[in-house]
Structure 1
Amino acid sequence: MILRKLSFKKKLVIAFIGVVSIVGIISIYSSSQLIRNKLEQALHEQTMNIIEGVENSVEEKKREILELTSLYAGSKKVVDYTSYGMKHMVRREIMALRKSGGLASLEIMDTSGKLFATAKSAGELFTAAEEGVEESKVDEYLVQRVLNGSSEVYLGGRGSKIGIWAIVPLEKFNEIIGMMQASYLLDLNFIEELKRITTADISLFTGEELSLTTLPSESFSLKPELLNEVLLKKKKLVDNMVIANEFYKIGLTPLLRKDGTLLGMIMVSLPKRGMISLASQARNRLLIIGGLGVFLALFLGYLIAEHLISRPISKLVRGAAAISAGDLDQEIIIDTQDEIGVLAGTFNEMRKKLREAHAKLENRIELVNKELEESNKELERANKELEKTNKENLELYEKVKQFNKELKREIALATKELEESNRKLIYLNEYNDNILRCMNSGVMVMDLDGKITTLNAVGERILNLSSEELKDVSLHDIRRIEGLSRLLAKTLKTEKTYVGHEVTIIQMLDKNPGNKMIPLQVSTSVLRDNNHRALGVIAVFRDISQIKQLEEQLQRSKKLAALGEMSAGVAHEIRNPLGVIKSSAQMLRDEFKPVETRDEYQELTTFIIEEVNRLNRVITEFLSFARPTPPNLQEVNVNEIINKTIQLIASQEKVTPDVKIKVESSKNLPLLMGDPEQIIQALLNVVLNSLQAMPEGGELRITVRRADDAEEKYHPSLLQIQITDSGEGIPVSIRDKIFNPFFTTKEEGSGLGLAIVHKIIENHKGFIEVESEVEKGTTFKIFLPLAA
């Protein structure tokens, strides 16, 4: 708001000051940064040169130590004393050589690498002999190379010290008689010497730890990223660092062992205070020069703005004000050839054209007024015709309104009839759905493309398929109901009706692994419309598995009945001779005892009697199966029966003690209608069979509950007794044979135990089911009717 009230001249001056100030500040800042960068680059290059000088000094020192060692190895006294084995003389000689050469240690070793004599400086750890070690620390590879006539020099370290090692052969008459090894310590004298040469502070690191330094402070550490850079790349680098509150430019160069691993580092340090001082002086000079330049630029800018911009623009403003007041004869005179002069000329030209246009506009207004009067007359005539047309449109509107009213009445009537039809259609659909849902048979409708359009709930349960699975799927693609799909396709092709046709499908089991073959009884017919055109095929089917099972049970019962009648007579005929054999054997044992071989005689007769008794028990069991005693039906408490069964099990000698028996039963169970003795016999046979399946021990669980509490598919008038073991399981191949008489997988046993169980449960109007998985266990489910 304040800038809007200022004159153009003041705005121009302010803008000029701002631009000149910003340009000056940017220029000063850029120049100071450029100078600082140049100084930084020069310091960086100086540091790199110093690092290279340090590296060269180390290499020069290595060559110097190698040459000195080679010179000492050529000493005639050392060679002669060594060849004669004069250790004391050798030690005295090399001690003098070590001192004269400024070495940390000087050692003589034989051709096997073992230490022969050593000379070291006090307190140094650069020899093998210092720690009482008789073997040299030189590796076999270096020994082999020296014995081949080579000389070696390398960097090495022990503890917190780093040094240079040189090893050369000792020769006498061109024959190598041993080796000389010298070491030179990179100590404070060495880094002080480097400082004098390079004019920079020198620091020596052993590994990552500071060992020696010429800096005034030793309380500093390298940044982890610098250490990682040197450790990983093993190359020299330059960076900035603050040491004792002062900025330094540092350079790091690695010291590597002969195998290339990092031994330590040498750091050179150059203080940056000189560079910072130079940068500050340059910045101050730039500020003074820049300030003077800005002031001169502002002064010249003001003069230019006043004489070349502000005054001409003031003339233009006065001329524009005169024209706005209606004075079109006002002329602006500016004697310049710049943009403002061009603007003034354009302004004068515009004034002339505006005056001419004003004259033309007045003439045009007179002409328009005349045309407007003519147009008003035409408009009055058009209004009269429009009133007439509006009257006719009003009459037409009334007719259309009446037509719309009648049309709405017709639509309402049609809508009412349509809603009534929809209600009837919904009712018929619900009626059909209820019929399909309440049918005991499955109903399926297939269209001409082989896709299922309708499948009731019973059909879904029988086929174990849902409507979602059949959506957009051809029936022929479902291989496990191939028999049903072939019959539907045959019906559609022949257009015949098939009644009571039997097919087999494969039902996928949800709980147990494997598949189950399901027989179906199917009736099919072609589905047609009112014009007798085929729309598809309808099939009505039902699961006849239970009917097949009942037929098989009936056939089995007939066979067993015939077998029982025949076997009863055979058993009677066998028992009579058995009685005679047993009586004769007892008489032989008790009355006719020979004097000699009495023990053998006693054993044989006893064996005959025991085998006769065993055969008699088998016949008794067989007779109880072939001619079962009718059950003495009475109301029975199932919990009492279970308890008696457990007591009888506990008295059995063959029961494994490692078997844990658990009983789960409710106290409020209803009474059974049955013979307690026969039910106990049946339960005892099943439990003993389960115990025999767990010779190594396991768990036997007996669960008693109403059948409909276990699974909804069972009738509520039944009681379920479930016996589950964790034994070996029954293979699928013999599972259907376990209730057959004389079928057994045991070495001992009649094979009648489970057959008798099946017979007892059947005589009680009950049934038994078996579920088993090999290596996991078996479950027997016994279903018995409850008392009324």
Structure 2
Amino acid sequence: MEMVDPDSLYTGILIIGTDGTIDQLNQAAADFLGRSPASLYRTPLEYADPALARWSQRLAHGHRSFQAPEASLSTTGQSADAVFTRIDGGVLIELHPVAERLRQRQLANRADQQQAIHMLSRRLAHELRNPLAGVRAAAQLIGGQTSEPALKRHAEMIQREVDRITGLIERFAGDQNTELAAINLHRILEETGELVVTERHGRLDLVRDFDPSIPPLMADGDRLHQMVLNLVRNAVQAEAGTIRLVTRIEHDSPMVDRPARHAVRIEVLDDGQGVPETLRDRLFLPMVSGRDQGSGFGLAIVQQIARAHGGLVEYLPRSPGSAFIIRLPLIPAEESDHV
């Protein structure tokens, strides 16, 4: 039988001697522990990884073998299915990778969240269509019965805003398809940022860090505008004084469904109060808000728009503030006919 090279295995293998030091290990085990094999050889296990040392102490209480599913390693924070077995002269520890399982679980959780968003948004759209239609009809009636220019202008503005809100609701509910057209991403970011600066009467520092190599994209410009607007307003409501908009091109970028060979990365960085840790796991679900007056729909809409473009939005904490990372598959306008 052909012998298998231990260093070719994805499973980490460690043999711990009776004195508690590492007698043997392969490359995968060293990778799990975040060090080189040479630096770990003859190192006491409790120094190499205290969590593994604590788990292995169970063998001293009569266990011949046991498993610690998805054990978190002290040194790197990685998770592994750790199997501990008593052998002649020591302990055998096997570290089985679980990264793919965890990734699939995260994908499933995100899919469940998206399904919940979709069901709730369709119900919300159904409830709001009739009242909005009534508001629009009333504004139209007022505009038709008055000769005063200011009242006519205000009535027309109400009708336009109702139409815009209705369109957003229908898109969020999935009743309208994403309408792709050639757009200038940086122009959308500029207009969105300037709108919020105007709303704040100039009391906001907007920093632009754009990659000029990003070409015109095929996307729904109105929805991208709404997505970024929600994120920037969210930062303002978190009392940010500075917001930084960053664009870059990424390769083999992570997405929900599968990695994108080329993607556009948009970062909205702020120095505000950040997101409470208790909300971070549920941040993109409807009805979740860290503010008393928040609707809880702003970030759910952000994620919905990104997903409609085949992309993904992620949150990362900063000190101080927040980072929202948008990744969208890069579809240059000139190549759209071939996609």
- Report if TM-score (shorter chain) is over 0.5: yes
Q: Which residue of 1 aligns with 2:112?
A: 558
Residues 729-768 of structure 1 deviation map (CA, whole Å, 9 limit, x = unaligned): 2232323332121222345443222212212223333333
Q: Does 1:665 align with 2:235?
A: no
Rounded Cα–Cα distance in structure 2 between residues aligned with 1:719 and 1:563: 25
Distance 1:764 1:487, change over 3 A: farther
Amino acid paired to 1:743: V
Q: Secondary structure at the match of 2:280?
A: helix
SS in structure 1 of the partner of residue 323 of structure 2: strand
Task: Give the 5 Å matches for 1:511-530.
Answer: 518-523=78-83
- Quick one: distance in 2 between partners of 1:492 and 1:453? 22
Aligned residues: 314
Amino acid at match of 1:575: R
Cα distance, 1:507–1:617 mapped onto 2, change above 3 Å: farther
Structure 2 matches for 1:643-662, cutoff 5 A?
643-652=187-196, 653-662=198-207
The range that moved more, 487-496 or 518-527, is 487-496
AA in 1 matched with 2:109: Q
Residue aligning to 1:54: none
* Aligned residue number for residue 69 of structure 2: 502
Aligned residue number for residue 445 of structure 1: 15
Summarize the Cα distance change of 1:785–1:525 in structure 2 as closer, same or farther, 3 Å threshold: farther
How do 1:508-657 and structure 2 match up within 5 A? 518-523=78-83, 533=88, 536-544=91-99, 547-548=101-102, 550-562=104-116, 564-565=118-119, 567-569=121-123, 571-576=125-130, 579-580=133-134, 621=168, 623-627=170-174, 629-632=176-179, 640-652=184-196, 653-657=198-202
Corresponding residue of 1:720: 265
SS at match of 1:717: strand
Task: Name the TM-score, length of structure 1 as normaliser.
Answer: 0.34
1:655 positional shift: 3.4
Alpha-carbon distance between aligned partners in 2 of 1:748 and 1:692, rounded to the nearest angstrom: 10
Letter in 2 for 1:649: G
Measure how far apart 1:474 and its partner are: 3.1
Which residue in 1 is equivalent to 2:248? 705
Deviation of 1:779 (Å): 1.9
Report the residue type matching 2:118 in the other structure: G
Query: Shift in Å at residue 704 of structure 1?
Result: 2.1
Tell me by how many angstroms 1:539 deviates: 0.5
User: 1:435: Cα distance to partner?
Assistant: 1.4
On the 8 A contact 1:706/1:716 being kept in 2, the answer is no
Describe the shift of the 1:444–1:504 C-alpha distance in structure 2 as closer, same or farther (beyond 3 A).
same
User: Quick one: structure 1 residues 475 and 494, their matched pair in 2 at CA, closer, same or farther if it must change by over 3 Å?
Assistant: same
Shift of 1:642: 1.7
Counterpart contact for 2:25–2:37, Cα < 8 Å = yes
Q: Residue in 1 aligned with 2:150?
A: none
1:415 corresponding residue in structure 2: none
Find the partner of 1:731 among 276, 293, 303: 276
1:502: Cα distance to partner? 1.0
Deviations 1:651-670 (A, max 9, x none): 34423514332322333346
Distance verdict in 2 for CA 1:569–1:730, change over 3 Å: closer
1:780 Cα offset (Å): 1.9
Matched, 1:755 2:300: yes
2:210 and 2:247 in contact (8 A); partners too: yes
Q: 1:486 aligns with which of 42, 50, 55?
A: 55
Going from structure 1 to structure 2, the CA distance change for 1:435 and 1:567 (only over 3 Å counts) comes to: closer
Percent identical across equivalent pairs?
A: 22
Structure 2 counterpart of 1:760, one-letter code: I
Whole-angstrom CA distance in 1 between matches of 2:142 and 2:330:
55
Deviations 1:560-604 (A, max 9, x none): 42553355245324432554477579879998xxxxxxxxxxxxx
Q: Determine the C-alpha separation between the residues in 1 that align with 2:59 and 2:167.
A: 58
Q: What's the counterpart of residue 686 of structure 1?
A: 231
Separation in structure 2 between the aligned mates of residue 508 and residue 629 of structure 1, nearest angstrom: 49
Bigger CA radius of gyration: 1
1:512 matched residue in structure 2: none
Whether the 8 Å CA contact 1:663–1:703 is kept in 2: the answer is yes
Pair 1:710–1:570, CA change in 2 (3 A): closer
8 Å Cα contact 1:685/1:757 also seen in 2: yes
